[in-house]
């Protein structure tokens, strides 16, 4: 079920990004799919915790193929499709490796790995897919705001996901303690 949620979130992120113009909040440009990408990083960490690193990489590979195919089918340019695939591969791999190597609680590992990978995903996608470096969709003046907007939303969604996981964990512990006390 986790794998299906993970893959569905990635495909839905592609669909809503292709269907809707980016949200402009002040100087920041935020594709609507960014709201789901933060969630996918948390889901990927849960998959790794539950099934292991090898399965996490299998999920990443499957998601990469589905993401690239859905992006192309939705009419994205080759540059956008490649930027999406490259940024996805880099950010998800970084997330996996940071999560694997960090010590500490599950929530700490999810937060730290997610913040780094969100930043990488935002920077790599904007530079390859939107900046004057290749496509020129954005001018260099807009690049920092596009990166910051995406990074902020992805980070916010990760914090929300971690908060929900924390509440579930606490609820579970209280329930177990109550049952043990009866």
Do residues 6 and 63 make contact, with C-beta atoms less than 8 angstroms apart? yes
What predicted TM-score, i.e. pTM, was given to this entire model? 0.85
Give me the domain span that covers residue 175: 2-181
Per this entry, what is the length of the chain?
182
Q: How many domains does the chain have?
A: 1
Query: In tens digits, what is the pLDDT along the chain, a chain of 182 residues?
Result: 889 999 999 999 888 988 888 888 888 888 888 888 878 888 999 999 999 999 999 999 999 999 999 988 988 888 988 998 999 999 999 999 999 999 999 889 999 999 999 999 999 999 999 999 998 888 999 999 999 999 999 999 888 888 888 888 777 666 656 666 65
Do residues 79 and 128 make contact, with C-beta atoms less than 8 angstroms apart? yes
Cα separation, 87 vs 67, whole angstroms: 11
Measured N-to-C along each axis, helices 2-19 and 34-51 cross at an angle, to the nearest 10 degrees, of 170
């Amino acid at each position: 079920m986790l794998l299906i949620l993970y893959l569905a979130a990635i495909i839905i992120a592609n669909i809503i990004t292709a269907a809707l113009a980016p949200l402009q909040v002040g100087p920041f440009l935020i594709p609507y799919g960014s709201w789901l990408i933060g969630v996918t990083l948390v889901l990927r960490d849960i998959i790794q915790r539950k099934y292991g690193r090898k399965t996490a990489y299998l999920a990443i590979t499957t998601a990469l193929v589905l993401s690239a195919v859905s992006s192309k089918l939705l009419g994205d340019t080759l540059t956008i499709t490649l930027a999406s695939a490259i940024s996805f591969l880099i950010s998800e791999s970084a997330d996996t490796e940071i999560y694997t190597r960090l010590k500490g609680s599950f929530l700490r590992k999810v937060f730290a790995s997610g913040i780094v990978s969100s930043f990488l995903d935002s920077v790599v996608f904007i530079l390859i897919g939107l900046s004057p470096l290749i496509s020129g969709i954005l001018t260099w003046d807009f690049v920092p705001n596009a990166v910051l907007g995406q990074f902020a939303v992805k980070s916010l969604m990760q914090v929300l996901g971690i908060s929900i996981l924390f509440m579930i964990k606490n609820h579970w512990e209280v329930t177990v303690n109550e049952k043990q006390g009866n």
